[in-house]
Amino acid sequence: MRQIRTEFPRRCIILLILLICGAVPLWANTAANPIGGDYSCQALRAMARVYMACGDYTKAQPLAERALDFAKKAGASDSELCLCLIDLGYLYKNQGKFADAEKMCEQGLQLQEKVYGKDHPYVAYTLRVMGSTYQNQAKYRRAQLVLDRALAIMKHNYMKDDPIIAPFQVDIAKLLVARGNYEQAESCYLEALELINKSYGPDHLYTAGVLAGIARLYALQGRYFEADVLINRALVMQEQIYGPEHHLLTPTWLTMTIMCQAKSDYAQAEKLLNKALVAVQTKRGTDHPLTGKVLSMLGAVYTSQGQYEQAEQACTQAVKVLEGSLGPDNDYTAMAFNNLASLYVRQSRYSEAKDLCTKALKTLEHIFDKNHPNVAHVLETLVDLHKIAGNVARATELEQRVEKIRSRTQIVYEPIAKSIE
């Protein structure tokens, strides 16, 4: 097992050495090269991609930025220049620099369409990166448009049952989950999974990531037994490749935290979140959006345990990080507001709690609609506030609205402990 865990970084190191040894020297005379700076740009990009494959975006950044700078100065071809732009867009996206990522991708896409045409598969892959970038910025409608276009391009160029189409379906499924369209998301996931199993096999790392995505969907729906089976299967495969403490396991840990919270296993939820926090802060930094998301969930766990001082510290830091990285009008920021409001209710800070709920509700209803699952969470906080204020009629009205939202998203109320048994 130990040998398997160290194989991934070792492969990265070996590939990096080969790229350096096999590349044209970066100081080569580009005037003698009929394609300008393409060779040197390719060397820099290749090295950057090795680091990105390992999730080491800090080391990849200077290489990718030098590649773009070199391409511009050396008069590289449009095809090489667009690759430099798109690689940098992908890098910035993973660093949480979404505005910069959007700029790079849009410039790269424009060049790519000029070189290859608007219906080339390369364009579809760039649209995938843009879709993820828009999604992180809460630009969900734009994300849906570019991902739908990407899938249409792939279906135009390949047979509908070609496994190459599966990742595009997975991206759309993730977007549907974020938008609260759980039934459509499941259909999209399962269709993609059939192709993925055919192409990668059931024990592949990519398969594990898709299983983890489906597990998260099931956890959000309250289908805890199914979620538990899938997330544990995914975790085993991911740990074999990455090791047990790798930051790329964070999405899996966060899904497992949802499961723990549902069965009131707050000790295990806290353990998972603290592990995630250390991993993300070490690799991505204290101001990365993912750090804010982990802190927000950790604050909610502390609140549930009555650890209000720790909860306030985590929740306020989460709000600060998410407002700084994603802005105040993002759905993740809105949920951080709600978690802090929930804490304030327990601290009898009702006016502050109400203000935060109002702000969160306005944001969520603007980004999504009045029936999004996250809206229900904010309404539940408002129910607590109205009950404390003695406004039973208003509390009952909001409870009915919550019930309606839950039924629309097919969330099951079966106790998780019973489900997992």
Instruction: Give the Cβ contact number of residue 56 at 10 Å.
Output: 16
Indicate if 179 and 228 belong to the same structural domain: yes
Measured between alpha carbons, how far is 306 from 303 in angstroms, rounded to an integer? 5
Task: pLDDT tens for the chain, 421 residues: list them.
Answer: 333 333 344 444 434 433 433 333 333 333 334 344 566 889 999 999 999 988 889 999 999 999 999 999 998 999 999 999 999 999 999 999 999 999 999 999 999 999 999 999 999 999 999 999 999 999 999 999 999 999 999 999 999 889 999 999 999 999 999 999 999 999 999 999 999 988 888 889 999 999 999 999 999 999 999 999 999 999 999 999 999 999 999 999 999 999 999 999 999 999 999 999 999 999 999 999 999 999 999 999 999 999 999 999 999 999 999 999 999 999 999 999 999 999 999 999 999 999 999 999 999 999 999 999 999 999 999 999 999 999 999 999 999 999 999 887 754 444 444 433 4
Q: Per the domain annotation, does 146 fall within a domain?
A: no
Could you tell me the CA-to-CA distances from 411 to 175, 253, 298, 417 in Å, in that order? 18, 21, 23, 16
Q: Per the domain annotation, does 325 fall within a domain?
A: yes
pTM, whole model, 2 decimals?
Answer: 0.87
**Residue 120 confidence (pLDDT):** 97
Q: Per the domain annotation, does 344 fall within a domain?
A: yes
Instruction: Give the Cβ contact number of residue 301 at 10 Å.
Output: 25
Q: Are 374 and 331 in contact (CB under 8 A)?
A: yes
Indicate if 225 and 259 belong to the same structural domain: no
**Residue 289 confidence (pLDDT):** 97
Indicate if 285 and 385 belong to the same structural domain: yes
DSSP string, 200-222: T-TTSHHHHHHHHHHHHHHHHHT
Indicate if 309 and 409 belong to the same structural domain: yes
Q: Per the domain annotation, does 148 fall within a domain?
A: no
Measured between alpha carbons, how far is 399 from 406 in angstroms, rounded to an integer? 11
- What DSSP designation does 246 have? -
Indicate if 120 and 210 belong to the same structural domain: no
Q: Per the domain annotation, does 246 fall within a domain?
A: no
Indicate if 349 and 317 belong to the same structural domain: yes
Measured between alpha carbons, how far is 222 from 258 in angstroms, rounded to an integer? 10
Tokens for 416? 């998780």
Indicate if 406 and 271 belong to the same structural domain: yes
**Residue 8 confidence (pLDDT):** 41
Cβ neighbors of 296 (< 8 A, separation 6 or more) are: 314, 315, 318, 319, 322, 332, 335, 336, 339
Residue 399 half-sphere exposure, CB side, CA atoms within 13 Å?
Answer: 11
Could you tell me the CA-to-CA distances from 22 to 9, 43, 144 in Å, in that order? 20, 9, 41
Q: Are 159 and 129 in contact (CB under 8 A)?
A: no
| Torsion sign, CA atoms 341, 343, 346, 351 | negative
Q: How many domains does the chain have?
A: 3
Q: Per the domain annotation, does 1 fall within a domain?
A: no
Name the residue range of residue 404's domain. 251-421
Indicate if 266 and 215 belong to the same structural domain: no
Question: 204-243 burial by CB neighbour count: b if 16+ within 10 A, else e?
Answer: eeebbbbbbbbbbbbbbbbbbeebbebbebbbebbbbbbb
Could you tell me the CA-to-CA distances from 401 to 52, 182, 221 in Å, in that order? 45, 19, 17
Question: 161-200 burial by CB neighbour count: b if 16+ within 10 A, else e?
Answer: eebebbbbbbbbbbbbbbbbbbeebbebbebbbebbbeeb
Identify the domain boundary among 82, 109, 138.
138
Identify the domain boundary among 240, 268, 300.
240
Q: Per the domain annotation, does 320 fall within a domain?
A: yes
- Amino acid identity at 44: L
End-to-end CA, the chain: 29
- Amino acid identity at 305: Q
Give the domain CATH number at 49. 1.25.40.10
- Amino acid identity at 323: E
**Residue 38 confidence (pLDDT):** 63
- Amino acid identity at 159: M
Q: Per the domain annotation, does 153 fall within a domain?
A: no
**Residue 410 confidence (pLDDT):** 56
Indicate if 235 and 265 belong to the same structural domain: no
Indicate if 287 and 208 belong to the same structural domain: no
Q: Are 126 and 86 in contact (CB under 8 A)?
A: yes
Q: Are 31 and 12 in contact (CB under 8 A)?
A: no
Indicate if 125 and 172 belong to the same structural domain: no
Tokens for 233? 């299967």
Identify the domain boundary among 216, 240, 264.
240
The residue written with tokens 């991206």 in the block is 171
**Residue 27 confidence (pLDDT):** 30
Measured between alpha carbons, how far is 70 from 137 in angstroms, rounded to an integer? 30
**Residue 62 confidence (pLDDT):** 95
Residue 341 half-sphere exposure, CB side, CA atoms within 13 Å?
Answer: 26
Indicate if 96 and 175 belong to the same structural domain: no
Angle, CA 98 vertex, CA 97 and CA 99 arms, to 5° = 100
Q: Are 182 and 217 in contact (CB under 8 A)?
A: yes
Measured between alpha carbons, how far is 128 from 116 in angstroms, rounded to an integer? 17
Question: 335-345 burial by CB neighbour count: b if 16+ within 10 A, else e?
Answer: bbbbbbbbbbb
